[in-house]
Amino acid sequence: ASIYDLIQSACEKNDSKLIASFEMHKKAFTFGEMHLEAGKIAAGLVNLGIAPGDRVAVWGPNQPEWLVMKWACARAGFEMVNINPLYTSRELEYALEKVDAKMLVCPKTIGPLNYHAKVQELIPNLAEQDRFSLKVPSVPTLKKIVYYSCPEAEAGTFQWSELEQAGSDKDLKTVNEIIVDPHSIANIQFTSGTTGMPKAASLSHFNLINNAISLTASLNALLPSVHENSSFLNCLPLYHVFSFVGGSLIGAHNAVPNIYPAPGFNSAAAIKACADKKCTYLIGTPTMFTDIVNDPIRLDHDISSLDFAIVGGAPATPALVRKANTELGLQMAVGYGMTENSCATFLTYPGSSEDVTCNSVGFPIPGVEAKVIDENEKTLERGQIGELVTKGFVLFMGYVKDEEKTKESYTKDGYWKTGDLAVVREDGTLQISGRSKDMLIRGGENIQPTEIENFITTHEKVLDCYVIGVPSSRLGEEVAAYIQLKDDSVTKEDIIAFCKDGLARYKLPKYIKFTEEFPKTVTGKIQKYLLRDQAMEDFP
């Protein structure tokens, strides 16, 4: 059994239903077409010497070939490695070496992104090499490169069209005879790199399928969100679990199409795709929702088909949840999870009180157990803050080539340590207080940056705000707030005066800086470790 069974069983019911549409590429697939294409590509990979258990790295933004590769690998038991589309050459090298990749598949160029140039940095003599057996000193396992979005042959590489045609009937027969172990790796997924260097997490077919099934159960039990005419607007990068599991896999499981607006996120493309395809369900990070809500072109398009959304991947402020609900006319649920837990582990649901949706991530999805513990791994009572730990089918298989780190990430009783601070509220829902690494301690008082961020973003002139601790010789740390304003009609003094009305004295920012942009990952997550570096210069 593999995640590919979802495609196969959907095909048995009705293979002419749509599975995916890439709006910018004007390329859509029915389940039947995807099955055919994945078969061709899997056979082509067999022909080029890829066998079950081999690692194929795919590096790029949302394009049809990305998704086809995913299903082709799943079908034949090849381990697909998802590489962040924005990686530099140096990061690519780190990732490929880390996982012992045998093949790299990527666009040659797409828009302003020139993957070929980055590959050439890694392999300067690519053009002179035997494309059947590359020699890459820093990544000795890497033997072949396939380019898509590459109309003309590029020396040293294979073209996508060649891969499509390479597989013989015999190769396809080989693919069809492969039996995939559900506990084998489907996916090596790099974490977002929000807190530092990304970690390579191994996820099995079993992990992924369980997450998709549990999430569907949670959604269906609470709202008939997935129905005959549903379609999902998937704005997230496919390389991330939230997009593939929370969108594509749930879609495949329910025979509902995913609409991918554009290779990278832009709110205008998302809004247009939503109006064109009458999407009913929207998934994205808080940054994406902020952009969609604030984009004026929204008013020129009918997106009233939307009835449901999941925001997740980073904290959503209550102000954002309220705004999305009223202005987009939908019911927003909040999802919480992480790469190492195969996607989501907690979910609120539409129809919950505003208090629950704005201040919690709801309850664990079926099959997930969770508790909040203290430093001695003692379970805490409701209302007490500690580290969230989780257990269940969705727990990953470990970090690649890093047994030590894998072991350290578990409690003595086998729960996985999320690194996030949380509180179980009186009503049993879970509130995430932030990452334990981001908590700041000022003069002995613990301060949660999210509390200050949530308050400052209620100011009508504030678009976005992030709070960090800045070293202080007297108090240990001081509060610093980076704020993006809607216009420049407010001063730092106004912000402080506003904060005095809602925050205890010791939580007031000592430093404020107005800024136009923040260091963020490709999914729009704030990289506070970079903001802290910046603060050393801004507030010496």
Nearer CB in complex with Mg ion: 289/396:
396
Task: Tell me which residue of 195, 182, 110, 122 sits closest to 147, measured CA to CA.
Answer: 110
Q: Which is nearer to ligand ATP, 280 or 348 (CB)?
A: 348
Contact between 195 and ligand ATP by CB under 6 A: the answer reads yes
CB 406 within 8 A of CB 399: yes
CA 271 – CA 269 distance, rounded (Å): 6
Applying CB under 6 A, does 315 fall inside the site for ligand ATP?
A: yes
Q: How far is the CB of 28 from ligand ATP (least distance, A)?
A: 28
> Which residues in the 435-454 window bind ligand ATP by CB under 6 A?
435
At 420 the three-state DSSP class reads strand
CA nearest 519: which of 506, 504, 505, 529? Answer: 529
Cα 209 from Cα 186, distance rounded (Å): 10
282 interacts with ligand ATP by CB under 6 A = no
In 3D, which of 501, 473, 495, 499 has the Cα closest to residue 483?
Answer: 495
* 171 lies in the site for ligand ATP, by CB under 6 A: no
Between 191 and 345, CB nearer to Mg ion: 191
Interaction with Mg ion in 161-220: which residues (CB under 5 A)?
191
Specify the residue, 293 or 530, whose C-beta has the smaller distance to Mg ion.
530
Report residue 251 CA to chain centroid gap.
16
Of 103-111, 190-198, 227-235, 497-505, which part binds ligand ATP (CB under 6 A)?
A: 190-198
Q: Which does 352 bind (CB under 5 to 8 A by kind): ligand ATP, Mg ion, none?
A: none
Using CB under 6 A, which of the segments 153-161, 310-318, 370-378, 397-405 binds ligand ATP? 310-318
Give the total residue count for the chain. Answer: 540
* Residue of 44, 312, 449, 524 interacting with ligand ATP (CB under 6 A): 312
Question: Is residue 198 a contact residue for ligand ATP (CB under 6 A)?
Answer: yes
Residue 193 interacts with, from ligand ATP, Mg ion, none (CB under 5-8 Å by kind)? ligand ATP
Residues sharing a CB contact under 8 Å with residue 234, sequence separation 6 or more, in sequence order: 243, 247, 248, 251, 258, 259, 260, 283
Least spacing, CB of residue 450 vs ligand ATP, in Å: 8
Min separation Cβ 265 and ligand ATP, Å: 15
21 Cβ contact list (under 8 Å, min separation 6): 27, 28, 29, 257, 258, 259, 260, 277
Alpha-carbon distance of 148 to 445, in angstroms, equals: 54
Q: Which residue is nearest to Mg ion (CB)?
A: 191
Taking the complex as a whole, the smallest distance from the CB of residue 92 to ligand ATP amounts, in Å, to 16
Task: Write the DSSP symbol of residue 452.
Answer: H
Options 84-92, 155-163, 188-196, 296-304: segment touching ligand ATP (CB under 6 A): 188-196
CA end-to-end span of the chain = 57
Tell me how crowded residue 83 is: count the other CB atoms within 10 A of its CB. 25
Q: What is the contact surface with ligand ATP in residues (CB under 6 A)?
A: 191-196, 198-199, 312-315, 334, 336-339, 361, 418-420, 432, 435, 525
